[in-house]
A and B are shown apart, each in its own frame.
Chain A
Amino acid sequence: MKGLFLDEIELDREETLGSHHFTRQAMLRFAQAYDPQPFHLDDEAARQSHFGALCASGWHTAAAWMKCYTAFNERHRIERASRGESLPDIGPSPGFQNLKWLKPVYVGDTITYACRTKDKRPLRTKPGWGLLQFSTLGRNQKEDPVFSFDGKVLVQMRRR
């Protein structure tokens, strides 16, 4: 995260990752490929559903979080590299917990995603790597929380 080694990451710090605007075209394209349910594809069917209007696949909302997270990290990696600082290898994630779709994301909504660091520890099974845990929140343009989850990612430690 942020191009930092695990040793450098401060806990209980919140970062705003960025915003994603949901267009009808992108919502339909995602839903056609991965979540072709009527309330994600068809205005009339969505109006008659309990959602009331066309809404994004929940996995589209999640993928847009990742888009903001990777762009945020990349900006920081570029800044760090420009200062001549070393960068950790990018690590994978073993999974996540407690993902909540709190409210539908509708056509034209802009979701702003944030991330808070929660815990970090070295991994005995992968020398030189540790696990960072964080929580996330996405809010729409009315400040309503629409999306959250608890994530984890492997982060490289400084070589000693």
Chain B
Amino acid sequence: MGEAASLLHFEDFPVGEVITYGRYQVAAEEIVDFAREYDPQPFHVDEAAARASLLGGLCASGWHVCAIIMRLMVEGYYGRTASMGSTGIDEVKWLKPVRPGDVLSCRRTTLEARVSAKRPEMGIVKMHFDLFDAQGDVKAEMIGINLVRVRNRQ
């Protein structure tokens, strides 16, 4: 009971809030392992082919980058949130390649927050995420929905 009460709820996500969190170092081995299983394009699995490609060197699959944003989200706040999952993502921009050795963090900005008309126990929180490296270069942007349980139902 005490555990559920200590979780972040819909009311804890005010519009306009900006929070930075997380640290994730990406290894070449992890980039190649993910890509071999899900996205075996040359620039994700083969250093020489990657150098000759438009991306100029080995880099993580964009879907891997999204998965890393998710991991940072769960570690950063969603793991201690009364989460109800997500209905989807408005937009992702893969702005710069994520390379082996990059150390990534995330910054979230709450864009919108409303209670579902159909399901009054569910809050719909729209977030903007920036995934950036140790130099502050933004590698990817994501705008997506966090579904969060409402704490105080009238």
Contacts and interface: CB of A to CB of B under 8 A. Distances in A.
A67 B42 contact: no
Nearest to A93: B62
A30 B74 CA distance: 14
Best-surrounded residue of A50, A66, A154 (most CB of chain B within 10 A): A66
Given A35-B67, A63-B38, A63-B67, A95 B88 contact: no
A63 B66 CA distance: 10
B54 A91 contact: yes
Given A67-B39, A95-B94, A35 B54 contact: no
By DSSP majority rule, is chain A's interface helix, strand, loop, or mixed?
Answer: mixed
A62 interface: yes
Contacts of B67: 30, 33-35, 57, 59, 63
Interface string B86-98: 1111111110000
B66 A62 contact: yes
A154 B54 contact: yes
Given A50-B84, A66-B39, A70-B40, A95 B70 contact: no
Given A34-B68, A37-B83, A89 B88 contact: no
Given A58-B86, A100-B87, A95 B41 contact: no
Interface of A: 30, 33-37, 39, 49-51, 57-59, 62-64, 66-67, 70, 74, 89-101, 126, 129, 149, 154
Interface of B: 34, 37-43, 53-55, 61-64, 66-68, 70-71, 74, 78-79, 83-94, 144
